[in-house]
Amino acid sequence: MARSAPRPHSYQAHHLRDLKHGGNPTDWDNIIPYPKDVHETLLGLYNQCYAGQPPWTTAGAAYPYGE
């Protein structure tokens, strides 16, 4: 039996409105694809934000989500 190719950890994209802030996980209009290197950088930043780690624990821009 042939081995299938390994599956990537996640799709190389991010939600415009992230899931923890009410983003729709099945809305294709809520997704922006990124090259792998940018995706990995953003993934690390999102994880820092959700964990309450600096620099996300300090005051920032008035419109952090581009609203």
For residue 67, being part of any structural domain is answered with: no
For residue 57, being part of any structural domain is answered with: no
Number of domains forming the structure of the chain = 1
Structural domain harbouring 32 = 13-50
pLDDT on residue 49: 80
pLDDT on residue 17: 82
For residue 4, being part of any structural domain is answered with: no
pLDDT on residue 1: 44
Span 17-65, pLDDT tens digits: 877 778 888 888 888 888 888 888 888 888 888 788 877 777 766 655 6
For residue 23, being part of any structural domain is answered with: yes
For residue 7, being part of any structural domain is answered with: no
pTM for this predicted structure? 0.52
DSSP string for 12-67: SEEESS-GGGT--TT-GGGEEE--HHHHHHHHHHHHHHHTT-TTTTS---S-TT--
Span 8-24, pLDDT tens digits: 566 788 777 877 778 88
